Chain A
Amino acid sequence: MDAEIARAVGAGSSAPRIEDARLLTGKARYVENLDVSGCLFAAFLRSTHAHACIKSIDTTRAVAAPGVVAVFTGVDLLEAGVGPLPFHEVVQREDGGPMQPPARLALASDRVRFSGEAIALVIAQTRRAALDALEHIQVDYDPLPVVVRARMAHAEDAPLVADGAPRNVVGFMRIGDKAKTDAVFARAAHVTRLSLTNQRLSASPMETRSVIASWDRDRNRLTLFAGNQAPHMAREQIARCLGIPNDDLRIVVGDIGGGFGMKLVPYPEEVALLFAARSLKASIRWKADRTESFLSDTHGRDHDTDAEMAFDREGRILGVRMRVWANMGAYLSFFGITVATGSGNRVVSGVYRIPTLDVEVRAMLTNTAPVGPYRGAGRPEAIYRLERLLDVGAAELGMDPVTLRRINLITPDAIPYLANSGQIYESGNFPRILDQALAVADWAGFDARREAARARGQLYGGGICCHIDTTSGIRPFEQVGIVANALGRIDVFSGTQAMGQGIATVYASMVATRLGIPIDHINIVQGDTDRVPDGVGSYGSRSLFIGGSAVVQATEALVDVLRQRAAAVLASNSGDLIFEAGRFAVADRSIGIFELLARTGGVEAQGRHESKFVFPNGCYVCEAEIDPETGVVTIARFSGVDDVGTVIHPMIVHGQVQGSIAQGIAQALYEEVVYDDEGQLLSASFMDYALPRADVLPRLSVETDETSICPTNPLGAKGAGEAGCLGAPPAVVGAVMDALAKFGVRHLDMPLTPEKIWRAMRTPTPACRAEMRS
């Protein structure tokens, strides 16, 4: 049945992207391109302090400045009853009480908790007038002590970010069995211990956050034009903040120039701008400049971890202990705490049999920008700590890292497998994926390549990572409507969201192939809460396997209705009709879809799919070369195999895999959001924040394996958007550490900058020095 459906929707063929002609010829509908007449312009005054009480704000001169229409502060919003932005109440405090994060107001009123937090909003006739007026606002701050690192925020004497978070722990989560884990550690033949940091990243989309907030005079309601990845969810959250019914807010999304999870959550600026639009009965534009984007977009990752793994004599894992301090920033963005306590922990034990574990995650408040979902969202952190433990463990046990992984992998006979997280791995063949990845990587030829590199005076190492992702996220359903009109146009309505990944092409191609008609008859409608009745959004690699499965259901429902009609027209039993190449046929009589629609009128059909979490997985192999004089790392080879279930559109899957691997390599080698001890952002532009460029990325040899398709959806798909962000960092770091092994280096934190590596080569560890002496 599954294979049949996959065939019927054209799995394995890559239709050209229907988005590209528009996107590549300047016809994209980014918010900045929308022509909304009579717009006013907005600018936000942002805190220059990372932590301070606001003693007073004087806006008098700004209000009087040329071109200024209005200036709003936090007090204006509070007095009008605008509430704080909501957060996902997914765990409790460490003492068992309900979480009490600081209220995240659209404009801070009496206290700021991170540098860049919005304090005041100027609305003016022009953007320049708004920006100029910002300089006329006087804010009197009373600075407070600052803490920026999650681990340091837990210290007894650390400054407190909020009253409701004792020792800055805003939420707490525990998985596993502490007593049992303590017991296995006590009798383990070997324990590997590692403290590591998974550094903070910025999503850095090409299109920064951009908004038009508009008051609809005819209908007395608000419209938000914004690049949100989940407009229906955002509508609910923002409407709650504004104290209005969902129907009084319409969200319209055009094209999105990169989301990566950062554009999933609603933002304070959107709430403040909607409030201003309602107050002034106006339309207001705002676009973050790049520095504002670095300051105020949700960041990703930022976990400090103490990780331990207990082994028996043969290298079998006996247990794992993790203590995680997850940096939330100063406030909880809607999914900030979900990333740390939810999504990553569904793959807490990776692809390995781990008899017992003891994991504690503390969600920490600090004086930094709020953290949110970012491609991978929790899973890269979870996979990284396991894979680093295995690499270091292998070195300590004197074992080959591949062998150590292989003997601990969950075997295919154990699938479906109840993992430590309580999740069921529904499909997968991890040893097969490992073997294939080693073959694609020509692992047998590694030693020869290392010798060749050494002959050129270069250091050379290999790294491997076996990763498993979990896709879907909360609200695991999508609803899809299809409307075929009498003229042969077919509209498909979905609450998932195009954001460059090509999901519209995939949906259109699936529907066109199933119906046997040209793709240009299909129109995918997304990103408008008025036009799309219901839906959830695009995140967690869910658009195809949930949204696409709903498209399949809706298409089948449409075919059923058309079949009934064709049966009537052809005077036959519907069961006798054969539907092929866009025609219903019986004996020598047949009718095409378009003629049928023209004769019998339009058709509507619905489809819905709800899914459990599913588990794409894979294995990557990286070979890295290090220049011993400078410490510069070059990725020599990057290979692997991904099991994303059925591959519906190979070109788009490979694009997703390449993009996420690029981001993963970038985390390993380049990117890092850095605050100084005073909470000032040091990486606030692309002059300081190192995004990778094409010339530092290797040619990727990554294949897909479709032998373990997903049994829980009709397509057999698992999701392909994020695995590269999980698998690439451990593979790259593993390769670099292997190359540095002779210097006694066990572990360096990402990003592996040239200076970090140069220092590691210059200052061998004591053990290494002893070895060199002997």
Chain B
Amino acid sequence: MMYEFAYVRPASLEDAVRALRMHSEAKPLAGGMSLLSAMKLRLAAPTHLVDLGRLDGLAGIAGNNQAITIGAMTRHADVAASPIVREAIPALAVLAGDIGDRQVRHRGTLGGSVANADPAACYPAAVLGLAGTIITDRRHIGSDDFFRGLYETALETDEIVAAVEFTRPARAGYMKFPHPASRFALVGVFVAEFGAGNVRVAVTGAGPRVFREARLEAALAKEFTPTVASAVAVSAEGLNSDRAASAEYRAHLVSVMAARAVAWALAPTSQS
């Protein structure tokens, strides 16, 4: 059962920022699929919840030839079902459609996931893998600078994610090896190729934060095939080791999942 807190429903993004400034222990509520659980377990105790749920301007999906932009309050289910996303970056639609369960996908949001920066969440892998840009109420932050550590981002305490812009890749794929209990990513690998020689590989679940795997990127930049990914020996150094998987096993899974993500990206059925 949660500690008591005050509920605030701002009418605009500016009001929301103001509310966060006014109360040092306030937290934005962006779906609440992680925050509310943490509060129920009494692991989080914000004095105020600033609910972004009614800020309609923060939800929505738009695209052009270079990029697609997804509003921070867009639900996972809407991303998964979006014709724009499915056409431009099918791997992202598939990723969104496999987060959590049906209920989570209809409550949880892109902005909430990105700001929470759970080390085993799926979205950060897509944001980093697709060279995304995090657009906040005040600035643009590149994904390489955004994810700082365990539940730690470049966001100020009163800063709110408004949207995320994803670069359109030539092709991309995401493969997740689910944790047996939580079904978060024990290891999740997002691979994206942006034209010859430009490959990004983002790994979630395996380390204390989402990260890019340089050796896989280098190898796949030369030749974008599953065989190449399988052959890369990923280092276990710095990876998580816990009851569900050792660092060594996670390192192994990174190259297996990378190979499968590449295979998915290359499969004719995954290109719409």
Main secondary structure, interface of B, reads loop
Which of these binds chain B: A91-99, A680-688, A764-772?
A680-688
Q: How far is the CB of A729 from chain B (nearest CB, A)?
A: 17
When C-beta atoms are compared, the residue in chain A nearest to B186 turns out to be: A754
Task: Say whether B4 contacts A128, CB under 8 Å.
Answer: yes
**A229–B249 Cα gap in the complex (Å)?**
43
> How many residues on chain A are close to B (CB under 8 Å)?
23
Contact flags B241-256 to A (C-beta < 8 A → 1, else 0): 0011110010011001
Residues of A within 8 A of B244 (CB): 688, 753, 755
Task: Say whether A690 contacts B181, CB under 8 Å.
Answer: yes
Task: Say whether A127 contacts B1, CB under 8 Å.
Answer: yes
Given A686-B181, A688-B182: A128 and B246 interface contact (C-beta under 8 Å): no
Task: Say whether A687 contacts B245, CB under 8 Å.
Answer: no
Task: Say whether B243 contacts A691, CB under 8 Å.
Answer: no
**A127–B40 Cα gap in the complex (Å)?**
13
Option from A630, A670, A683, A687 in Cβ contact (under 8 Å) with B253: A630
Q: How far is the CB of A678 from chain B (nearest CB, A)?
A: 14
Residue B194 CB within 8 A of the other chain? no
Contact flags B15-56 to A (C-beta < 8 A → 1, else 0): 000000000000000000000000001100000000000000
Task: Say whether A688 contacts B249, CB under 8 Å.
Answer: no
Question: Of residues A688, A691, A759, which shows the largest number of chain B Cβ atoms within 10 Å of its Cβ?
Answer: A688
Given A629-B256, A630-B253, A630-B256: A691 and B245 interface contact (C-beta under 8 Å): no
Task: Say whether B1 contacts A687, CB under 8 Å.
Answer: no
Residue A758 CB within 8 A of the other chain? yes
Residues of A within 8 A of B3 (CB): 128, 132
Q: Which of A396-446 contact B (CB under 8 A)?
A: none
Task: Say whether A688 contacts B1, CB under 8 Å.
Answer: no
Residue A689 CB within 8 A of the other chain? yes
Q: How far is the CB of B181 from chain A (nearest CB, A)?
A: 4
Task: Say whether A755 contacts B245, CB under 8 Å.
Answer: yes
**A691–B181 Cα gap in the complex (Å)?**
7
Q: Which of B222-272 contact A (CB under 8 A)?
A: 243-246, 249, 252-253, 256
Task: Say whether A758 contacts B252, CB under 8 Å.
Answer: yes
Q: Which of A379-404 contact B (CB under 8 A)?
A: none
Residues of A within 8 A of B243 (CB): 674, 682-683, 688
Residue B180 CB within 8 A of the other chain? yes
Residue A131 CB within 8 A of the other chain? yes
Task: Say whether A630 contacts B177, CB under 8 Å.
Answer: yes
Q: How far is the CB of B262 from chain A (nearest CB, A)?
A: 14
Main secondary structure, interface of A, reads loop
Task: Say whether A687 contacts B177, CB under 8 Å.
Answer: no
Residues of A within 8 A of B253 (CB): 630
Q: How far is the CB of B86 from chain A (nearest CB, A)?
A: 23
Task: Say whether A689 contacts B256, CB under 8 Å.
Answer: no
Q: How far is the CB of B73 from chain A (nearest CB, A)?
A: 25
Residues of A within 8 A of B245 (CB): 755
Q: How far is the CB of B183 from chain A (nearest CB, A)?
A: 8
Task: Say whether B256 contacts A755, CB under 8 Å.
Answer: no
Residues of B within 8 A of A132 (CB): 3
Residues of B within 8 A of A682 (CB): 243
Q: Which of A735-759 contact B (CB under 8 A)?
A: 753-755, 758-759
Task: Say whether B249 contacts A755, CB under 8 Å.
Answer: yes
Task: Say whether A688 contacts B4, CB under 8 Å.
Answer: no
Q: How far is the CB of B245 from chain A (nearest CB, A)?
A: 5
Q: How far is the CB of B4 from chain A (nearest CB, A)?
A: 7
When C-beta atoms are compared, the residue in chain B nearest to A130 turns out to be: B1
Q: Which of A295-317 contact B (CB under 8 A)?
A: none
**A758–B253 Cα gap in the complex (Å)?**
10
Q: How far is the CB of A336 from chain B (nearest CB, A)?
A: 26
When C-beta atoms are compared, the residue in chain A nearest to B257 turns out to be: A630
Residues of B within 8 A of A127 (CB): 1
**A514–B22 Cα gap in the complex (Å)?**
74
Contact flags A120-139 to B (C-beta < 8 A → 1, else 0): 00000001100110000000
Q: How far is the CB of B164 from chain A (nearest CB, A)?
A: 26
Option from A128, A131, A690, A759 in Cβ contact (under 8 Å) with B180: A690
Question: Of residues A674, A686, A754, which shows the largest number of chain B Cβ atoms within 10 Å of its Cβ?
Answer: A754
Q: How far is the CB of A698 from chain B (nearest CB, A)?
A: 17
Task: Say whether B181 contacts A689, CB under 8 Å.
Answer: yes
Residues of B within 8 A of A629 (CB): 256
Task: Say whether A753 contacts B180, CB under 8 Å.
Answer: yes
When C-beta atoms are compared, the residue in chain A nearest to B184 turns out to be: A687
Task: Say whether A128 contacts B1, CB under 8 Å.
Answer: yes
Residues of A within 8 A of B177 (CB): 630
Q: How far is the CB of A315 from chain B (nearest CB, A)?
A: 37
Residues of A within 8 A of B4 (CB): 128
When C-beta atoms are compared, the residue in chain B nearest to A669 turns out to be: B180
Task: Say whether A687 contacts B181, CB under 8 Å.
Answer: yes
**A99–B177 Cα gap in the complex (Å)?**
49
Q: How far is the CB of B113 from chain A (nearest CB, A)?
A: 16
Residues of B within 8 A of A690 (CB): 180-181
**A131–B1 Cα gap in the complex (Å)?**
8
Q: Which of A231-273 contact B (CB under 8 A)?
A: none
Residues of A within 8 A of B181 (CB): 670, 686-691
**A690–B180 Cα gap in the complex (Å)?**
6
**A123–B4 Cα gap in the complex (Å)?**
19
Q: How far is the CB of A732 from chain B (nearest CB, A)?
A: 15
Q: Which of A117-173 contact B (CB under 8 A)?
A: 127-128, 131-132
Task: Say whether A755 contacts B246, CB under 8 Å.
Answer: yes
When C-beta atoms are compared, the residue in chain B nearest to A693 turns out to be: B183
Q: Which of B87-138 contact A (CB under 8 A)?
A: none
**A744–B69 Cα gap in the complex (Å)?**
53
**A629–B245 Cα gap in the complex (Å)?**
15
When C-beta atoms are compared, the residue in chain A nearest to B120 turns out to be: A687
**A240–B141 Cα gap in the complex (Å)?**
68
**A694–B182 Cα gap in the complex (Å)?**
14
**A322–B103 Cα gap in the complex (Å)?**
49
Question: Of residues B249, B252, B256, which shows the largest number of chain A Cβ atoms within 10 Å of its Cβ?
Answer: B249
Residues of B within 8 A of A630 (CB): 177, 253, 256
Contact flags B178-201 to A (C-beta < 8 A → 1, else 0): 011110100000000000000000
**A289–B252 Cα gap in the complex (Å)?**
37
Residues of A within 8 A of B180 (CB): 670, 690, 753-754
When C-beta atoms are compared, the residue in chain A nearest to B101 turns out to be: A693
Q: How far is the CB of B195 from chain A (nearest CB, A)?
A: 29
When C-beta atoms are compared, the residue in chain B nearest to A674 turns out to be: B243
Q: How far is the CB of A552 from chain B (nearest CB, A)?
A: 44
When C-beta atoms are compared, the residue in chain B nearest to A672 turns out to be: B243
Q: How far is the CB of B203 from chain A (nearest CB, A)?
A: 16
When C-beta atoms are compared, the residue in chain B nearest to A43 turns out to be: B1
When C-beta atoms are compared, the residue in chain B nearest to A41 turns out to be: B1
Residues of B within 8 A of A688 (CB): 181-182, 243-244
Q: How far is the CB of B257 from chain A (nearest CB, A)?
A: 9
Q: How far is the CB of B99 from chain A (nearest CB, A)?
A: 15
**A629–B255 Cα gap in the complex (Å)?**
10
Q: How far is the CB of A724 from chain B (nearest CB, A)?
A: 21
**A629–B256 Cα gap in the complex (Å)?**
7
Q: What residues of chain A have their CB less than 8 Å away from a CB belonging to chain B?
A: 127-128, 131-132, 289, 291, 629-630, 670, 674, 682-683, 686-691, 753-755, 758-759
30 A-B contacts (beta carbon < 8 Å): A127-B1, A128-B1, A128-B3, A131-B42, A132-B3, A289-B1, A629-B256, A630-B177, A630-B253, A670-B180, A670-B181, A674-B243, A682-B243, A683-B243, A686-B181, A687-B181, A687-B182, A687-B184, A688-B243, A688-B244, A690-B181, A691-B181, A754-B180, A754-B249, A755-B244, A755-B246, A755-B249, A758-B249, A758-B252, A759-B249
- Ranked nearest first, the 9 interchain pairs of A and B with the lowest CB-CB distance are A690-B181, A690-B180, A687-B182, A755-B249, A629-B256, A688-B181, A755-B245, A128-B1, A131-B1
Q: A682-B243, A688-B243 known; 14 other A-B pairs, CB under 8 Å?
A: A128-B3, A128-B4, A131-B42, A289-B1, A670-B180, A670-B181, A683-B243, A687-B181, A754-B249, A755-B244, A755-B249, A758-B249, A758-B252, A759-B249
